[in-house]
């Protein structure tokens, strides 16, 4: 079973952009519990984003996390993880204009910006939240080092012969 990348489209079976459900495992006990996101790499590959940025967003402010095994300190429920994953998606994966996950992330004049390959909008990704600013800074550093983040989400898009009749006329 897969999920729709845009939470707002979650009930649409024909929505094209799919992602796996987070697979969680819990380790440790008492004060030392960890939540491991077992398929973190899949999300990183799918979105083309560094996994530590996604993990950092899921961990949240003040939480310890370890990128070696994609673990977060504490016991996070499936819904906690999913909501924070969607929060990341809403901020960094979906186009602010058309809400399609077709963004190429780049740095323009030291700002994290995105160019949408669906609607062509170029938007500055500005976030007021302090914690988001840190993640934004991480993404800027990563892009400066590795180049633009191209959307890889297309790997999950249905091929033409799987498109429904309605898809062809949208």
From candidates 116, 135, 140, 149, binder to Zn ion by CB under 5 A: 116
Nearest to 54 by CA among 33, 72, 78: 72
DSSP secondary structure, 53-110, as one string: HHHHHHH-TT--EETTTTEEES---HHHHHHHHHHHIIIIIS-TTT--S-EEEEEETT
Angular region, 84: left φ>0, alpha ψ -120 to 50, beta rest = alpha
Binding mask 84-103 for Zn ion (x = CB under 5 A): -----------x-xx-----
Q: Which stretch binds Zn ion (CB under 5 A): 13-21, 69-77, 113-121, 132-140?
A: 113-121
Task: Output the smallest distance, CB 119 to Zn ion, in A.
Answer: 3
122 is a site residue for Zn ion (CB under 5 A): no
Shortest Cβ distance from residue 134 to Zn ion (Å)?
A: 25
What is the SS3 assignment for 18?
strand
In whole angstroms, how close is the CB of 167 to Zn ion at the nearest point?
17
Q: Which residues bind Zn ion (CB under 5 A)?
A: 95, 97-98, 116, 118-119, 121
């Amino acid at each position: 079973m897969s999920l729709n990348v845009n939470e707002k489209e979650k009930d649409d079976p024909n929505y094209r952009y799919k992602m796996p459900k987070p697979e969680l495992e819990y380790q440790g006990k008492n004060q030392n519990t960890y939540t491991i996101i077992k398929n973190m790499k899949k999300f990183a590959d799918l979105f083309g984003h560094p996994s530590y940025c996604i993990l950092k967003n899921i961990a949240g402010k003040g939480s310890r996390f370890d990128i070696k095994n994609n673990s977060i300190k504490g016991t996070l429920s499936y819904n906690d993880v999913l909501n924070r994953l969607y929060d990341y998606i809403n901020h960094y994966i979906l186009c602010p204009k058309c809400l399609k996950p077709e963004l190429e992330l780049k740095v323009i004049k030291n700002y994290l910006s995105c160019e949408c390959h669906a609607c062509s909008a170029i938007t500055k990704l500005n976030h007021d939240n302090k914690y988001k600013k840190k993640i934004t800074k991480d993404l800027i550093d990563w892009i400066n080092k590795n180049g633009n983040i191209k959307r890889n989400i297309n790997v999950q898009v249905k091929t033409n012969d799987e498109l429904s009749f309605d898809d062809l006329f949208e």
